[in-house]
Amino acid sequence: MWRHIVLTGVAIFSIGLLFAQSKKHFAVNNTGGIKIVVLNYSSSSGTYYLSPSQKSDLFSVYSNKDIDEYNHYFDQKTRNNVCTIDLKIEDKATESFSQSISYKMFRKSKDFDESLWKVYLSEDKPYKLNLNYGIGEAFIDLSGLSIQNLKINTGSADVHVGYLSGIGNPIKMDTLNITVDLGSLQIRKGNLSNAKVIIAEVGFGNAYLDLSGKPDISSYVKASVGAGNLEVVVPRTGTGVKVIIHQSLLCQVRLSKTFTETDTDVFVNEYYEEGASGQLVFDVDVSLGNIVFKDKK
């Protein structure tokens, strides 16, 4: 289960009360003729939740805040059967870059912002998601959602992505793109995304990519690490894995003993077969940071 997601005692009670008192702030109805939804969502600070909904709305947002307590921009338009939704939410006192760094360095592990946001998406339509989180924590459950493209950008937020019910993406995802600046991002059961291409860019933060489940399709993973850390978990058996590394003298790259170097900075496991389907190929650039490849335990 996700780190930080297990809350007990007063924390659960407090969040339950806050959501019980929350109100719907934004919504887009599921009108006829819409074939795909493009969602551009950005929020400056808070605790965020995104999950599938059993209701008919294509998109709905609930919060414990009153609408006059924050600044926002909301727009929705439909053209050529594509519904584009833009929502940007900001605190009235926007955090500066220095405040963002201070938040990462000095906050307590049990602190969470009193601003709570719950986003619901429909299981009836495919989505292209562009999600941007500033400060705080985000918990994203993509179980059963049809996601064509997914882009996540975290400034100083800690973002957790997974498939809690074990139901994967019903369609193939073209690209899963994650960018981590100062924060952290964890993806659990990433094989359920059915992503053909995965792009991971890590600056000073930390990223964890769990691809330990057997993939239904082949995935190409392009990763770059500046001064941060990237940990990747791959299947121990049955799935071919190839890792190509472009590294500097100041970085550190560690691979499990199941990999064999077949060429300079090219490593494969015993199951890799050139041209076969259902394999994982990693193309990795690292400057000052650390990259670790682990097998599933």
- Look up the pTM and report it: 0.87
Per-residue model confidence as pLDDT tens digits over 193-210? 999 999 999 999 999 999
* pLDDT confidence band for 60 (50 / 70 / 90): very high
Q: For residue 34, is pLDDT > 50?
A: yes
138 within 8 A of 50, measured Cβ to Cβ: yes
In Å, how far from its chain's centre is CA 108?
Answer: 23
Q: Classify each residue of 178-212 as buried b or exposed e, where b means 16 or more C-beta atoms within 10 Å of its C-beta.
A: bbbbbbbbbbbbbbbbbbeebbbbbbbbbbbbbbb
Q: What is the pLDDT of residue 251?
A: 79
DSSP code string of 49-60: EEEEESSS-SEE
pLDDT at 266: 95
Residue 284 · residue 244 · CB < 8 Å: yes
Q: What is the pLDDT of residue 239?
A: 96
Averaged pLDDT for residues 178-187: 96
| pLDDT for 13 | 37
Proportion of the chain above pLDDT 70, given as a percent: 86
Which of 70 and 99 is assigned the larger pLDDT? Answer: 70
Average pLDDT for 250-259: 88
**pLDDT score for 2:** 46
For residue 275, is pLDDT > 80? yes
Residue 93 banded pLDDT, cuts 50, 70, 90: low
Asked whether the predicted pLDDT for residue 99 surpasses 60, the reply is no
Q: What percent of the chain has pLDDT over 90?
A: 73
- Per domain, the residue ranges of the chain are 10-210
pLDDT averaged over the chain? Answer: 87
Q: Are 185 and 203 in contact (CB under 8 A)?
A: no
Q: Nearest to residue 30, comparing CAs of 4, 60, 1?
A: 60
E strands within 142-217?
Answer: 146-154, 158-162, 173-180, 184-187, 195-202, 206-210
Average pLDDT on 257-274 reads 95
pLDDT surpassing 50 at residue 1: no
Q: What is the pLDDT of residue 224?
A: 92
